Chains A and B, each alone.
Chain A
C-alpha cells in the first residue's frame, strides 16, 4: 500500500455526534487553512436533530480553488462509534484514519489498505479536565491541534483564530489555547508525519468566507427590505436569523434606538406570506425565507399576489422534499413548483444564485425586480449554498445605486391629472401604475382583488376584461426577460457541437468539470442560467449546439422541462443529466457522465456517417 501523498489538495472528513461542540472546532480548522492562503470548501452533512445523531463536516482543501464537493475521503477523523464502519469504508485506499484509541478496538474494525493514526483523546481529556462538558468540548480542540501537526501547519493561524473567537471572553481563551497546545505537543512527541500537507500559499486573495443564507439576508438589508415574515424551516431559518443580526447592526435609528425593520415569526407559512403580501401592497419591501414545503403552503397567496400584482420576495432554500423528506439534504427540486406556483394561469420570476456573492446580489436585485415588475420573485438557493460557508468574491455596493420602486403614481402625479388605472398598460411593457394606500384624498384609491376586475380595478366578470388583464401579465413576463440577471456563457477553447446548461449550486462542480473537459480535449460550451423567464440567449445557445446537456440536482429534469415548455425546444436536443441523492453534485460525476454521453453520441454520429 502506498500512502496517499498530497499537498494542499485533499479531502478531510470529520465524523462527529451532533451537539458535541465539534462544529465550531472543525470550522476553526477550515478557517486556519484559509488563513494560510489555501482555499477550502467545507460542507456540513447533518441530521434533522439537535443532539446525539451522527453529523459530518467535510473539508476539501484545494489549492486550485475547486469549491465543489470532490467525492471520496483522504483522511477520516472518526469520532463517532455509531458510524464507524461506514466511515472507515469511505476512506480512499492509501488514505488515513485518525481515531481515539483510548479503548482498544479489534483488528476487524480496521482496513489493511489504510493508514491508522491512533491518539488517546479520551484518556488525555479525562486526565486533564474534571467537568464532563469540558472533556467533551476540549477533545475537539485537542484533535484539531494534533491534526495541525500531522499536516505540518504552524500554530499561529489557529491561535489567532481562537483569540478572535474569544475576544472579550478571556476566561475561555486560555483554556482553548491550552487544549490546542496539548494536542500539538502530544502529536509532536508521539505521531509520525503523514503524506498530506498544508503549505502556505497565496490563492485565497480578497475572497470572503460566508454562508449563502447570511449573504442573502445581507442582500435584503442592502436592498431595503423592512419587513421579514417567516416560519422556521430547515434549511432556511438562518436567513431570518441573519437578517435579524444584520438589522440589529445596521438598521437601528441611532437617535431613538428604534428599529427600521420588523421581523415577525408567523404562526405558519400561510401567515408569513400573507404578511409579506400586506406589506408589499402597502409599499414596504418585504420578504420571506422558506423551503419547498413552505412554498406549497404559500401557493394560494402566491397566486393572488401574481394576479393582484403585489411585489414580494420569496427566498427558497431548497432541500429534499416532501415535508418529512430530507430536510437536511440539498436538491434543486422546487424549480417547477415555484415557476408555476398556484392555481390559474400563473408563472413567476425565479433567480438562481450560484454562491454567497450572488445570494447577496440576487437578494437585493429581487427586491428591485419585485417592485419593478409588481409580482412575486423567488430567489432559488439551496441547502448546499445556504448552510455551508463558501469562499466567494467580496460583496460590493455602489453608493449611487437607488432602490427601483417601479411604477408608483404619487399624489403629485395624480394632481397633475395623470390618468390612473391600476391595471392599465400605459406604455406597452405590461406593467401598470400603482398607488400606495393613503396617497391622495380623492384620487388613486382602488379595490384590490384577484381577477374579477377591469383595467381600472372596478369589479368585472366580463371575458374581455379578464383576457386583457392576463394577456397584459404575459407582456409583463416578456418585459421581465431583459430585467433579470442574464445567463453567463463560457465557450470552450475549440468550437464544439456540445453545450451544457446548469444553474445554482452546480456551478463550482461545473467549473472544475469544465477545466477537465478542456484538459482532455472533450470541448463543451457552458451556459449558466441565472433567471427565469429565460432570455432569448438561452434558445440561441441551444439552437447553436447539436446536443445540450442540462445538469440539475433533481430527479425529473425540472429546468429542462421548463426550457422545453417555455422555449418550444425539441426535447431531443436537450439531454437531462441528473444528480439527486441529496449530496451536492461533484465534478467527478459531471465529467464521467458527460464524457460517457459524448462518447455515445460521437459513436452514433460515426455510425450515421457510415450509413450515409
Chain B
C-alpha cells in the first residue's frame, strides 16, 4: 500500500505521446490495495497501454463491479469518467453506456467473484452480445475484501490460506467466453507486463467483446503453497501460446522472424497485430483447436496464456442493432421526436 502521494511535478524526462500526454496523465488516485497486489500491476499495464496507444484519457469510460479489482479504476485514468456499479453487474452497465455513446473506449474491470459467481450471467451475456469493450477480469481465485473465501475460479484441490482444500470445480472464464461468443480472448499474468501490455493494446484495437483474464495473485489471502493462483505457481506453470508484438501501422513492422513463426492480423481500427508463435501449432483463429489446446494443457495444471482466440470477422452490438453512427446522447429533438403532424396521423389511424 502506497500512502505517500507522488509529487505533482513532472520529471522532464517524461515524454509526451502523439496526443500530447505523458504517462503520468494516465495515472489515477493512489492505490489503497495491499503492497504487492497483482491488481496494481494490471493498473500500471492499463496506464502503459493507453499511453502507448495515444488514447485521450477523457475518451475512456472505466466501469467496474464490486471487490478489490473493482476498486482499481480509481487508480488509473484520473481524467476519465468512472463508475463503480453493483456486484457482478458491470457488464450490463457497460452495455447501456456503450449504447448511449459508441465513441468512447469502454474498459470494464471485474474480479473472479464479480464475474464468475454473482455476475456469471451478465459476463456471459455481454460476451454473446458483442459489447464493444475491453473486459479485464483480475483473477485471484479468492474473495479479498471479505477476507479469503474461495471464489468460483479456484482450482479443485487447491488449498486456502487456512489449509482447506477446495472441493468444487473451477469456472474457466476463457473457455466460457469462447463458448459465449467473445471475439477476442486472452489470458495473462499480472507479473508478466511484457505479455500483458500488448494484449491490452490489442484488445483496445479490437471491435467487439474483448476479454482478458489476468491471473493476479492476492498477496494477503492466496499467495501460499497449495494455491494455484500464487506468484510462484503461475511463474512455474505459465505456458504462453504466443507473444504479441502489437504494432500501430504496417510500416512499423521491422522485426524479422523465420517463415511461419509469426502471424500478422489487421484490426478494425487499421492497426496491426503481430503474433509471435510460441506453440507453433497454435492457431488463435481456430476456436475448436484453441479450446482443445486450452483444455489439454489446463488438465496438466498449466496456466495457458497469450492471445487464445481471435475472430478476424468480429462485429459489435451496434452493428448488430443497426444503430446510427452518431452517439445517442447527442441526438436532439429533430432526430428523435416525430412531431405533431405525425401524431395527428397516428391519432387518425386509431379511430
Contacts and interface: CB of A to CB of B under 8 A. Distances in A.
A403 B330 CA distance: 12
A262 B99 contact: yes
B328 A226 contact: yes
B100 A276 contact: no
Interface in A197-231: 204, 206-210, 218, 221-224, 226-227, 229
A395 interface: yes
Nearest to A270: B89
Which residue of A258, A262, A459 has the most chain B CB atoms within 10 A of its CB atom? A262
Contacts of A84: none
Interface stretch (B158-166, B293-301, B316-324): B316-324
A276 B79 contact: no
A284 B329 contact: yes
Contact of A437 (B61, B95, B321, B338): B61
B82 A275 contact: no
B350 A445 contact: no
A145 interface: no
Q: How large is the interface on B (under 10, 10 to 19, 20 to 34, 35 or more residues)?
A: 35 or more
A208 B350 contact: yes
Given A278-B93, A304-B85, A267 B99 contact: no
A281 B83 contact: yes
A283 interface: yes
Given A208-B351, A224-B337, A301 B86 contact: yes
Contacts of A446: 81-82
Given A224-B336, A437-B104, A218 B96 contact: no
Contact of A278 (B58, B98, B335, B347): B98
Contacts of B85: 274, 277, 304
Interface in B19-39: 29
Contacts of B340: 396-399
Nearest to B21: A441
Nearest to B341: A399
Contacts of B335: 260
Given A259-B322, A270-B89, A395-B346, A441 B79 contact: yes
B156 interface: no
A275 B99 contact: yes
A226 B346 contact: no
Interface secondary structure of B, over-half rule: helix
Given A259-B324, A260-B328, A445-B58, A279 B100 contact: yes
Contacts of B29: 459
Contacts of B323: 258-262
Contacts of B57: 441
B59 interface: yes
Q: How large is the interface on A (under 10, 10 to 19, 20 to 34, 35 or more residues)?
A: 35 or more
Given A264-B99, A281-B83, A447 B74 contact: yes
Given A267-B122, A440-B58, A442-B58, A283 B96 contact: no
Contacts of A210: 350
A278 B343 contact: no
Contacts of B79: 441-442, 445
A438 B61 contact: yes
A280 interface: yes
Contacts of B91: 271, 274
Contacts of A276: 96
A397 B336 CA distance: 13
A207 B93 CA distance: 41
A301 B86 CA distance: 7
A468 interface: no
A571 B126 CA distance: 49
B56 interface: yes
B325 A226 contact: no
A227 B100 contact: yes
B338 A278 contact: no
Interface string B154-196: 0000000000000000000000000000000000000000000
B258 interface: no
Contacts of B13: none
B271 interface: no
Nearest to A263: B321
A394 interface: yes
Interface stretch (A10-18, A249-257, A501-509): A249-257
Contacts of B342: 250
Contacts of A272: 92
Nearest to B329: A283
A266 B104 CA distance: 22
Contacts of A445: 58, 78-82
B343 A277 contact: no
Given A274-B85, A278-B93, A438-B81, 20 more contacts: A206-B347, A207-B351, A208-B347, A221-B336, A224-B331, A226-B328, A253-B324, A257-B322, A274-B89, A278-B83, A278-B96, A278-B98, A278-B99, A396-B343, A397-B337, A402-B333, A403-B336, A438-B61, A445-B78, A449-B84
6 contacts: A34-B351, A260-B335, A267-B121, A270-B92, A271-B121, A441-B58
Interface of B: 29, 56-59, 61, 63, 73-74, 78-86, 89, 91-101, 103-104, 121-122, 124-125, 129, 318, 321-325, 327-329, 331-333, 335-340, 342-344, 346-347, 350-351
